[in-house]
Each structure stands twice: as structure tokens, then as C-alpha cells.
Amino acid sequence: MTSDTPTPWSVNLITLMPEMYPGPLSHSIVGDALARGLWSLSLTNLREFGIGKHQQVDDTPYGGGAGMVIKPEVMDAAIAHARAQTPGAQLIHLSPRGEPLKQHHLIEFAAAPLMLMCSRYEGVDQRVLDAHNVREISLGDFVITGGDLAAMTIIDGCVRLLPGVLGDAASVAEESFGLHEDYQHLLEYPIYTKPAEWQGMRVPDVLISGHHANIDRWRREQAEAITKARRPDLWARYLVRSAGAISSH
């Protein structure tokens, strides 16, 4: 690496399933970026901090109830280990109780080193979350068996934002939830490729016209129509932003 090369984005992941990695993260654009050294992944195996001969990491919940809870001292030791490996990283716990993951989180997380805590079972003892003032992020309003797939989703979404990862930065700007101010809060417009006619369906003429202003207008109108029909919450935010943009001119 030369002095001009930016420091790679680094992620440290605390997990009970280290054998899952890099897994899907070693493929395609994200895997290519890993191989090119644009980001790095280190794993902290929670089991190694387990207690006793059986390296116990969990115990039954106080107050009763189903399932097991990850012990605070075990997770605490894993956090200390991960922190030493990735100094200055923001610590995130993947949890259905967290802030629902949005594109703005990915933009924030891709800008600095990250430590991701993946729980299993019923989750982790609250005291370790409080002691480390851990921020929680949720993939959505549903429950999966562990934080690893959520962590991989975050990593994938961050890596494609890193400089040099995607060939065409415009694709990030104009896609759904894109960075381009015209497309913030809008879902993506319909996209087409060759052939121009397939099963009797033609690509909209405007896209073949070569008239870039008309293409831009058509895409914008389509993005607005799709967002209005499918996501009233985003549409309302888009209208507020558009009204602000008009009044500031």
C-alpha cells in the first residue's frame, strides 16, 4: 500500500459463528473490494471468552421465560478484545429493538471503523449494553435467529459506498435512497436493458430517444409515482423537502 492509498475501512465482528465469515462477503463486488484491501474484517469469537471447561457463554434469564441470555462478563471480555484490535470503532449491537436501519446509517458507518456485536439466543444481558453505552440497530420489524445476517447486510451496504468500490459513483447517487438531492426519499425509477422489445413489451420510447433532459424528467416522474404509490412515508418527506427547496429559491 502506498502513502496515497486511503486507510481501508475496518470492521470487527463479535460472533458465536466465526465460520460464517467471510461467506457471502467474499463474493462479487464486496469480495473483490476485500481482496483489493479496500476494507478489512477481523473476527472476535465470543466462544473464546466463555467460562469454564465448556466455555459457557449463556445462562437462563432472571425472572423466568424462554431461551438463554448471553452473559455480561463474556460479552464484556469480547468487547475489550475487539476494541484493542479496532481502536476508535463505533460499537453497534444488532437487535430487533434498535433504530431501524436506513441508508443514512450506512453512510455514517462507512465513514469510520465499526464494531458489530452479533447476539444469538434471546439476546445479551442488558448491563453490558448499558456499561458500553451500545447503540442498537435493527434490520426491520421481524426476528431472525442471530445478528450475523444483519451484520453482513450492514457491511455489504457500507462497502459499496467506499471510494473505489463501485465503478460508477452515479449508481449510488441515483438509486433508491440515493445521495443525489433529486433522489433523496425517492425509490428508483424502472430500469431496462436490451432487447428493446421482449414478449411484446417495448422499452419506453423516451429511453431510446437519446434526449437526456427528457430521460431525466421521465425518470424523476416515474420515481415520484412509484414512491407515492408504495411508500407514503417517504413521499411525505419528499414533499416537505421539495417545498423547502422551492421556498429557498
Ligand X SMILES: C[S@@+](CC[C@H](N)C(=O)[O-])C[C@H]1O[C@@H](n2cnc3c(N)ncnc32)[C@H](O)[C@@H]1O
List interacting residues with ligand X (CB under 6 A).
Answer: 94-97, 118-120, 122-123, 138-140, 142-147, 150
Q: CB under 8 Å, gap of 24 or more: what pairs does 62-67 form?
A: 65/122, 66/122, 67/121, 67/122
Most distant CA pair in the chain: distance in Å? 71
CA 108 to chain centre: 10
CA dist., res. 166 & res. 44, Å (int): 28
Choose among 30, 52, 20, 2: nearest CA to 154: 30
For residue 114, give Cα distances in angstroms to 86, 124, 186, 228, 243.
8, 19, 28, 35, 36
- The CB-of-71 to ligand X minimum distance in angstroms stands at 14
Give the nearest distance from C-beta 146 to ligand X in angstroms: 5
Measured CA to CA, the distance from residue 41 to residue 12 in angstroms comes to 6
Q: Give the other-Cβ count within 10 Å of 160's Cβ.
A: 18
Amino acid in the structure at residue 4: D
Whole-number Å distance between alpha carbons of 113 and 109: 7
Beta carbon nearer to ligand X, 140 or 204: 140
| Residue 227 exposure: Cα atoms within 13 Å on the Cβ side | 23
Judged on CB neighbours under 10 Å (0-12, 13-18, 19+), 227 is: buried
Cell of 91: 460499537
